[in-house]
Chains A and B, each alone.
Chain A
Amino acid sequence: MVWAAGRDWWWSRSLRCHLFLGALFRLLLIAYGHYQDQWGPAGVKFTDVDYRVYTDAARYLHHGQSPYKRHTYRYTPYLAGLLWPNVWLHPLWGKALFSLCDLAIALLIYACLQASQPAATRSHSSLPPPARLALSGSLLWLYNPFSMAISARGSCEAVVLLLILLTIYGFQARAYFCAGLVFGLSIHFKLYPIIYALIFYLSLSQRSRFWAKVCLLNGAQVRFTVATLVGLIGSTYVAYRLYGQPYLSEAWLYHLARKDIRHNFSPYFYMLYLTHDVDDAGLSLVTFLPQIVVLFVISVVMARPADLWFGLFALTAVFVAFNKVCTSQYFLWYMVLLPLVHHRLRFSLGQWLGMGALWGAAQGSWLLAAYYLEFDGTNTFQVLWLEGLAFFSANVGLLSKLIREYRTQYVVA
């Protein structure tokens, strides 16, 4: 009875109330982080090391100098600009801004889901009431401990995720030019959203054949493509004019040429470490081709407006799972898209928990091996490699389960 009362209270609250609660949790987490950093044990920092890099870059900006004078600042200069108030207002400004982006993402998820309901309810009569569905989607993000912690620690992921959600919202609102501008800016901010370019482009065509979708352009495709190029090239050109070659070297060329062989979740980690001195085209193909092939197939198969959100989710999950470098922060890239499709994946609570447990256990056992290597000095490279392959297999298995469930058609008897 208490459970039922609590549940009813939960769902009866408006989005505004939940946004307030979400903001409160984030503020508390930021305050806790500040306390931990100031008075906690030395060497155990809550704040992400990159937050210091952004703040230092903002300080250079404040003194009229290039943010790229800060060693390891490898981001767009606009990020340093966004964090300029860290210098003259308060050092926690950036964390508050990233948390605000989180809340805006929850709002956009709500808006997208609510706007999509009339069409969705027609094909799926068993769906929950629209408002509740939109609310549940936004709450999945709002109370996601990953998103809370990452923004409160001062990682800038929320900014690029907000730009992606704005692009999706632009698509929903059929404002393709605006969507393209924001999409171009998101690629400028962080290279990876470029994987969405093909599916966005193809989904704007009503034609059924792939080549027709590609070649027979319509107005929406032209508007979106032109705006994307304007957004990407324009923002990059302005940054280049401002900071020249250091900007190109740090924010673009470094990421394109980066070869990090230290242990990470990627299935390729040990292979790349053992073959670091082998300059073989075949090896590059082995690490590059599978990712490109699956990304291409998803972009083509899911290139319909109705499947766009799931396509974006699947693209991101595949990109992260097949990538040459994979860290925990990358998981947030697909987590943000899951709320948009959660209602199309009709698993029971037990099934969701089971899948979550498999994902968590695969990750946990990898982390255990990594702990022994990093903090105990045990040679666990082989175990780490096998754990990395197991985590990859778990990701592939879970994603294919989600794909099968998404594509299942229910006939009401």
Chain B
Amino acid sequence: MLSAHGPASLIRTSRKSPSRIHPRVRAGQGICIGVLAALMALSPPRGVGAREYVQGMSSHYSHCPFLDGIYTSVMRRIFNPGLHKALLSEIEVMLTTSILPDVCQLVVEETLPSGMYVDTDELRDLAEAKGLRTFVPVPVDVEKPEFQADAFRMYVFRDLQIQENLRLTQVEVPVHLRYHTPRPPTPDEERRGLAPSAIVKLQNPRLFLSCRGDHLAQHCPDRTVTSYCDASGTSKCEYLHLPYKINVNAVEVSVPVGNEDHGSTVVGITTFIVSGGTIYLIIALLRAPEIKVKID
């Protein structure tokens, strides 16, 4: 089920090969690339060059004039070192020739890989504190390591803010990394004295748009998708699947893992120390009590 919307549906491109960008995206491209470039210049994501990627388009879609008048760009960044991170997505919908009603909802569908999770209790706290509306359809086991966990989806519901011809929103979600399988260091890591690590790759999200008073899906039947109406997850609605440009192909973070080469040493020394502790305690318990003289 997950693979149906996985990398196969993505078209990658870069600034150096504009001819590969889908023609529909060219409208308003100059302004938005400018915005994107300015944003990236202000805070370039770590390890990511100044590239753009087109997301959520596939050649089998028929022509949709309504989408020609909308240009969407996304800036993704991930903060904090360590196992607990904050994933920030800034989304900008620019209206060039199409018109959107004032009240629009954007659904961000994230597919979290098996190495990453969101804590649904934490999300509920954030819903109470900051009004962040999210829905995770499956129970999330926060204890499971990556090799026992499955990928799952998370839906974030955002109301778009109006700013002239732009519709904007930004969403910050706390994400956490799971324990990964230990492995021996690569020769390169060994040479550089680095401890082994694993890479967790978070694919870009799918964006769904719906607006009050306008059945957007009617405009582009080929790009109509069904997803959850709201954070309660009780009913489903029709949305328009938005293509967009983004600054990263995927968010990649590294997570430290145990060094498999240490296995036998760790087992040996741990067993030795624990056995020593066992014997030491047994001696303390079994040997004759000490007698001390106390002057009254």
Contacts and interface: CB of A to CB of B under 8 A. Distances in A.
A126 B296 contact: yes
Interface stretch (A96-104, A175-183, A225-233, A405-413): A405-413
A376 B82 contact: yes
Contacts of B124: 52
A408 B291 contact: yes
A294 interface: yes
Contact of B278 (A268, A293, A374, A410): A293
A290 B275 CA distance: 7
Contacts of B289: 407-409
A413 B83 contact: no
Nearest to B267: A271
B151 interface: no
B281 A318 contact: yes
A290 B82 contact: no
Contact of B290 (A382, A389, A393, A407): A407
Contact of A392 (B81, B120, B277, B291): B277
A393 B273 contact: yes
B188 interface: no
A262 B143 contact: yes
Interface string B147-176: 100000000000000000000000000100
Contacts, number: 167
Given A261-B179, A297-B286, A376-B81, A399 B259 contact: no
A298 interface: yes
**Interface residues of B toward A: which range?**
35 or more
Contacts of A261: 145, 179
Interface string B117-143: 000111011100110000000010101
Contact of B281 (A49, A271, A396): A396
Contacts of A283: 267
A274 B266 contact: yes
B284 A404 contact: yes
A273 interface: yes
B83 A377 contact: yes
A206 interface: no
Interface of B: 80-84, 120-122, 124-126, 129-130, 139, 141, 143, 145, 147, 174, 179, 181-182, 195-197, 254-260, 262-263, 266-267, 269-271, 273-275, 277-278, 280-282, 284-286, 289-296
